[in-house]
Structures are given as structure tokens and as C-alpha cells.
Structure 1
Amino acid sequence: MSMHQVRAALVGLGLVSASCFAVPATAYAVQIVKIGVSGPLTGSNAANGKDIENGVRMAIDEANATHPTIGNEPVQFVLESVDDQGDPRVGVQVAQKLVDDGVQVVIGHFNSGVCLPASRVFANAGIPLIDPAATNPAITQQGLKSVFRVIPTDAQNSGIAGKYAVTATKAKRIAIMDDRTAFGQGEAEEFKKAVVAAGGTIVATEFTNDKAVDFGPQLTNVKAATADLLFFGGLDGQAGLIARRMKQLGMRTQFLGGGAVADTIFTQIAGNAGDGALAWEYGRPLKTLPRGSEFAEKYKKKFGTDNLTYSPFAYDAATLAIDAMKSANSTKPAAFMPALQKAQFTGITGKITFDDRGDLKNPASTLYKLTEGKWVAVTTVTAN
């Protein structure tokens, strides 16, 4: 019997090992690691949600290009993105979906009102949440050891703004307005605390909602109070409308916005407010950071558009998570969580180290001033 006939007979009897004819499948096995992203991909804040998603996608693609290994196994990072619609109820639902789908870490959210309840879903599942955009201090005051934030909080950013309004702008009569969201109200409350602590005077406190387009009654009250400065806690779309209405009412009150956008900053405000308007923004100007311009160029080349505020923070959050997995030599959340807690990481946005709550130890905020129709960085201040 020929060798061919012998082999054929053995195959027929099922006695020939597959290893005689093929490389074992395990030699090419790749460990799939899912990185979740949650943000508003539809609705009025969809551009910011997509910006966050893009930042994470950049980090994942760059990591995969290095052919990483963790635990002596090749790894492929995969992005799993969900649309939380900026709605707390939907946010909790899609958070549970990410948990059920087996993500190892989540980057999110944009809205503080979504992040607050959704963070508890991830904490209950033992999955780290790294927040690149939601800034309400309460998020990291829940006692959840699995929540980390790579952006300054409202207490840090708006606290700086409040102190500056009193000590630097010399405002004597300060008014406050917010949009009643967890973000806007959080900003306003922290700004007010800082103003009072610095010895300033609040002469009017107004509020609207995040869907409003008419601010005449509130601004009429601010004007009647003869406020020389108005702080608005909310996003730039409404801030622009408020600034325009202030001009229509002939108000000489200086406008001051909280953190809502960055280097493509306050485009709607700039088109409506006069020179002298001020805005405090989270972090440092991207172009002043060592790798900031490089990031902006890569982002535009990859996605065909300029980056917005939060993609650098989201990029850092995803890169930090991957770095923690490598440091722990494990993709299991329980194993790499301690590496996140002890992180000494330098990213696009600067050095990232966390305090006991999971907030940045040394956050920075930058003041911009509208000058000849353009926003110009005036100063950067660290909260601590």
C-alpha cells in the first residue's frame, strides 16, 4: 500500500491528527478587548458625542497598529459605541447593554445628567468608567472607586471663574443664569460659591431650560439689577443667543461663559457678543500642548473635520485604559483597575494622576477673551 493510500485510510478512520496537516488554530488566536463609548450621537449634542467617539477610535486604531500583546496573547481592541441621546433614562439602558456585551472599560459620557445614573450601572458590574467630558462634581462624589475623570470638574473650572470674576475683572455686581441641567446648574452653583468666598456680591440669580430660545425676561431682570457681569452655566448654542439678546437690550454687562467648548471656541457667542466677552474653558489650549497640534492634524486627516473640545480628553481616556491593561498584564477590569487608580500618565491634554475620588489632582482651566471677533487665550490657571 502506498503512503498516500495509508494516509487516506487513516483519515477515513479518524486517526490522523489535524496537527499533521495544519497549524493549530490557537497559534493565531487573538484576544478581543471591547472598549465601550457612550455619548449623544443624535440630537442637539450629536457633534460632541461624535467627537468623543472619534477620539476613542483614534486611540484604538493607533494601539492596534502596534500589534499589542497582553498576557502573552495578541490583542485586538474593538470600539463598541452606543447612543445615549443625552437622556438619563436611555443612558442607563445603553449602559446595561454595554455591560451585557462584555466591554472591559467605558469612555463616557458627555452629559453629567446621564453620567450620574449610568456610572452606577458600570460600578455594579465592576467595569471602569473614564469620563472625558461630564463635569458635575457629584459624579465622583458617589463613592464609586471605578469612576475616573480626565477633565476638570465644575468645582475646579467654575471655581476658578468665580474667583477671577471678583479678583481680576473687579466685577462689583454679579448675576448668574443657568440652564437647569446637571451640567449648567453645577457650573452655576460652583461659580456662586467661589464668588461668595472671594467676597463678591450676587445681585441676580436667573435660570432657563436647555431648550429655551427666549431669554428676554431673565435678562431684563439682570439689567434692572445693574449687574456688571453675567455668568451663564450652559452650552454655547444658548450662550450665543443670550449674548445676542444682551446686545439687543443695550446691556453693558460683561458676558462670562463657563466651560463648553475649546479651540474652535464659542463660535456662536463670537458672532453675537461684543469684544470683551469672557469664557473659561476646561484644560489648556490644545495648540500650546507638546502634542496638541499633532493631534489636531491627525484628527483632521482621519475624519476630514476639525476636532472639537472633548476628543483629546477621550483619546487620553482610551489610551490610559490600554496603558493600564498593559501595565497590569491583564484585560480583566478587576486586574487593571488598580493601575488606573495609581496612574502616572502623560497624554495629549497633559499629566493625568487621580485623587482618591478619581478626579484630576492638578487640573487646569484657561480664560479666553473675545478680541476683534476672535477668542484669544488670556491665562491658564491650575485649580490646586
Structure 2
Amino acid sequence: MYPFFKLTFHALLGMLLWNSNAGGVGPSGGDSLKVAPYGDLKPYADLRAKPYEYHGPERELAEPTDLEEVRIGLFGPLKRTDAVLQGRSMRRGAELAIAEANAAGGHRGKPFEPVFRSDDQIWGSAREVARLVYEDKVWAVMGSIGSESTHIAEQIITKAHVVLIGPASTDPSLTQINIPWMFRCMPNDAHIARVLGTYLFQDRGVTKVAAIASNASDSRIGVSEFEKTARRLGRPLALSLKYDAGAPDFSRPLDLIERAGAEALVVWGRPEEAARLIRKIRARGMTQPVFGGPALAFPEFLKRAGTFAEGVTVAAPCDLWRDDPRLRTFRQQFSERYGAPPDIIAAYAYDGMNLLIRAIRAGGLNRAKIRDALAEIRRFHGVTGEIRFDGSGSNVSPPVLVVVRDGHFCKQASN
């Protein structure tokens, strides 16, 4: 029993060390100590301070000489109605990056070739990622959109020793388990929640907030992180409610919110659901300011909410509306190629694929060396802004607050 107890104790200690500095200064991105779980208590060790290391074999393997192309795997939703637009955005952003890399000579004269597999069935995604790794023999993998599928893929790539970069998964736990093969492009939900909570409770001085979120996994995780931030700032939520995805009616939760006398509302859900909810809120004559999670920072939300989106403040993973030459070029090339402007997922997929391409060119056709090369990229300036990896492979560049004005997202002046 003693060895088991000892192992369990060290596992719990590791989790406490992770949490003890979550939101603190340094590798976490410079957040205020007021939102850290244990204030200014210094942890024994910060596992994010330096890159996770891989001490296993395979660096000694010789590069193949008989390849005609360099394959990079992608997996994401193709047919699932609630995520097909996001899957298409990811694929388009990645394909544009590959097309540009091939125009510049590929990898030592060999073209990069994307191989796409579906994760329309969450548990079936394990099979599809395994096919990418063992049948298609890709050198690195990008995906997916949802954190559930990405968690499953993480188990495959850890066994197979292949780099996985997530362009849109925001579940904090993805990069908190000491896996050296996992990297993330978007800031995680904990970071997003801290930015929104600090602005709402400290900058604006709101004291009574109600949250309403979809029962979908990513929304539950996001609003849970926001609840933690609220408690740490001494402003526990007045209400935190859930609704089923695709719910036709929001009467009951809105009744409860009105009775609670909430001063502000926080919405965490998919763009189409959030738009429908906010329409219902305004139709009832509720005038409280509305704040949203990162899923609202998409054109689909503006389109479906219409004028009801006016004044909504959203915690966006990056500022995709800034005036930046690199971003302008990307938007123009993407629009010319696909006939529509890129959204945030397309932009992160473009940056994520460029990170993989850079790592392959630096490390060569050796999976372990590709991982090493990617881990050495601590700062990357892309179309989404600066991607800054901490030791766990998570992007700690700060999210931004944007507000809807005249049907467009504009950066919040006080952010």
C-alpha cells in the first residue's frame, strides 16, 4: 500500500503546484496576483517555467531519403452541424500556410502535403488520429477544435511520439500533465476568464454577476474558470446557470436571473446559441450589460444577433481587428482564395501550421527533433499577434476585450 500512497501523494502535490501559481506572475503571462488561487504564496516548483523535456529515443534515427512529400496531419469536424464551419476554417487556414510554404520551396524541395481526417464522432477520433500517425505516416498533427477530441488525440500522440498542436482547444488541462508533445495556439480558458473577470469586477466595479452557459463541454469548462476567478476576486457569482445545446426557450433561466437582480450577464456558448439568447434577453426588456466568452468573437455571432449584439463585450483570444501589415496580407490572401474573410480559428490554424512547418524545416524529418525544434520557439509573431509558449507548450499571450460597435468588433479602449 505504501508505494501506492506515495505515488498518489506526489500526483496530488504536482496538481497543487500547478494550481498554486495559476494566474500568477512570470510564465503565466503576468496576471495580477489577486486572481491567483493562493495569492502571493510561492510554489515549491513551477512546472511551466522551462519547457517540458523528452528524454526518450528516436533522435538517432536517420531521415528517410525516398519520400516524395512531407505529410502533416489535420483532424477536425467535417459533417457535425454544430462545428462544421469551425472545421472548415481550420482546414482553410492550414492549407493556406502550406500553399505558401510550398511556393517557397517546401522542405528541401519536397512539398508539404496536408492529410485530413474527421473527428465527427468524438470517440472515433482516436481511430482517425491513429490512422494519421501509423497509416498516413505524418510528421506532425494539428487539431482539433473541441477539447474532448483533442484530449483523445493527446493520448495517441504521446504513445506514438508525434507533435500535436491545437489551434483552438482552450481546456487548461490539455497542457498541464507534463506531456512534451502537446502545444496550444489559443490562450486557455483560465487566462481568458482572468482577463474578463479582472475587467468586470475590478475595472468596472460590478458586484452582482450572473453567468449562463451551454452544457457543451468547452462552455462548461470556460464558465467554470470564470466562476473560480470571481471567487478569487471576492465576487462569487450571484447565479451560474446551464442550458442544453439547441434549447428553444430560455424563459426559466432568464426568470431566475431577473429575480436575482444581476447587474451584468456573462454568456458562454456557441455563436448561434448566444445570439439567440441575447435576442431573448433584450426582447424581455433586460438592459444589463452582456459579456461573452471567446466563442462569441466570430462573424457568425454578429450575423445572427444583428443589432442585439450592439454593446456586447467579448473576451477574444486575440485581436484579429488590429491594423497590422502581416494581418492585412493574410486577410487579403485568405479572402481571395476562399471568397470569405478568415475568422479566429482560421488565423490560429494558419499560425499553428506555420509553427509546424518551421519546426520541420529546423528539425528535419525526425519526429523527436521536430518536437525539440518546436519547443525551442518560445515567441512567434504571427497573424494572431505574438504566440508566447510557456514551458508546458501553452500560449500565454494575453487575450483581448472587444466590444461590438455598429456591427463590428472594436478593441475595448480600457483593456
TM-score range, shorter chain: 0.7 to 0.9
Q: Following the alignment from structure 1 to structure 2, what is the Cα–Cα distance between the partners of residues 287 and 68?
A: 30
In the alignment, which residue of structure 1 is the partner of 2:398?
364
Deviations 1:315-363 (A, max 9, x none): 11111111111112x12211111111111432222233321211024x1
- In the TM superposition, what are the counterparts of 1:100-115 in structure 2 within 5 Å? 100=134, 101-115=136-150
Q: Note the C-alpha offset of 1:303.
A: 1.1
Instruction: Please name the residue that 1:48 is paired with.
Output: 86
Where does residue 59 of structure 1 map in the other structure?
Answer: 97
Corresponding residue of 1:11: none
Equivalent-residue separation in structure 2 for 1:103 and 1:351 (angstroms): 27
Are 1:99 and 2:133 an aligned pair? yes
Give aligned pairs, total.
348
- Structure 2 residues without counterparts, runs of 5 or longer: 1-64
Indicate if the aligned counterparts of 1:136 and 1:187 stay in contact, CA closer than 8 A: yes
Distance (Å, rounded) in 1 between the aligned partners of 2:414 and 2:246? 32
Give the deviation of 1:176 after TM superposition: 1.1
Return the letter of the residue paired with 1:273.
F
2:261 is aligned with what amino acid?
T
Percent identical? 25
Instruction: Give the letter for the 1:215 counterpart.
Output: F
Classify 1:372/1:320 alpha carbon distance in 2 versus 1 (closer, same or farther; 3 Å): closer
Task: Give the alignment's TM-score, normalised by structure 2.
Answer: 0.79
Matches within 5 A, 1:8-157: 31-42=68-79, 43-70=81-108, 74-85=109-120, 87-100=121-134, 101-157=136-192
Question: Which has more strand, going by share of residues?
Answer: 1
Cα distance in structure 2, aligned partners of 1:180 and 1:48: 19
- The structure-2 alpha-carbon separation of the partners of 1:364 and 1:118, relative to structure 1 and needing over 3 Å to count, comes to same
* 2:271/2:298 contact within 8 Å kept: no
Q: In structure 1, the residue corresponding to 2:69 is in which secondary structure?
A: strand
Shift in alpha-carbon separation, 1:291–1:93, aligned structure 2, 3 A: same
Please list every run of 5 or more consecutive structure 1 residues that lacks an aligned counterpart in the other structure: 1-27
Q: How does 1:191-206 map to 2 (within 5 A)?
A: 191-206=226-241
Partner AA of 1:289 in structure 2: D
The one-letter code sitting in structure 2 at the alignment partner of 1:229 is: A
TM-score (norm 1): 0.85
Q: CA deviation at 1:220?
A: 1.1
Cα distance in 1 for partners of 2:413, 2:182 equals: 30
Taking a change above 3 Å as real, the CA distance of residues 374 and 55 of structure 1, as seen in their structure-2 partners, is closer
Residue of structure 2 equivalent to 1:340:
374
Distance in 2 of aligned mates of 1:110 and 1:380: 30
Give, in whole Å, the separation in 2 of the partners of 1:93 and 1:175: 40
C-alpha contact 1:136 1:182 (8 A) present in aligned 2: no
Q: CA RMSD of the aligned region, Å?
A: 2.0
How far residue 210 of structure 1 moved from its aligned partner, in angstroms, is 2.2
Alignment of structure 1 residues 165-314 onto 2, 5 Å: 165-262=200-297, 264=299, 266-268=301-303, 270-271=305-306, 273=308, 275-314=310-349
Distance 1:161 1:318, change over 3 A: same
Q: Compared with structure 1, are the counterparts of its residues 61 and 261 closer, same or farther at alpha carbon in structure 2 (3 Å cutoff)?
A: farther
Which AA in structure 2 matches 1:367? Answer: L
> Which has the higher relative contact order, 1 or 2, with Cα contacts under 8 A spaced 6 or more apart?
2
**How many Å apart are 1:83 and its aligned residue?**
1.9
Q: After TM superposition, give the deviation of residue 268 of structure 1 in Å.
A: 4.3
Cα distance in structure 2, aligned partners of 1:356 and 1:374: 36
Query: How far did 1:379 drift?
Result: 4.2
